[in-house]
Amino acid sequence: MYSEKVMDHFMHPRNVGEIKDADGIGEVGNPVCGDLMTFYIKVEDNRIKDVKFKTFGCGAAIAVSSMVSEMAKGKTLEEAIKITNKMVADKLSGLPPNKMHCSNLGADALHKAIENYLEKKRSKNGRKK
């Protein structure tokens, strides 16, 4: 049984889409359940100015992606990297035990997008020297 929050984020997901000129992109998948999530972030002054996602998966995966995007928007990179699967599940008023892996995927995809941004930034700064 899903909570009202999970159903709301599944039926009305926030921040769905793609950022064409994203500063960071993170993609994760779970071959067992078939879920695939891609997160796109725009960063300005060390803060996530915009975040979008594309998710192929179950209702819980879509709800998790939507919630993670809401939690990350406006946060500094340091704050956003601290978003955990437990925080996501708590914000959604819980997930069934067999769907908890979805909250891992959402947080992981966000973290990979942040890492991708930081990696691009490092290599760009490395070339300037």
Q: Which residues are catalytic?
A: 33, 102
Helix (H, G, I), strand (E, B) or coil at 13: coil
For the sheet with 35-44, list strands across it: 24-30, 35-44, 47-56
Within 10 A of 109 (CB to CB), how many other CB atoms are there?
Answer: 27
Q: Which two tokens stand for residue 54?
A: 């594309």
Nearest by Cα to 100 from 112, 111, 84, 89: 89
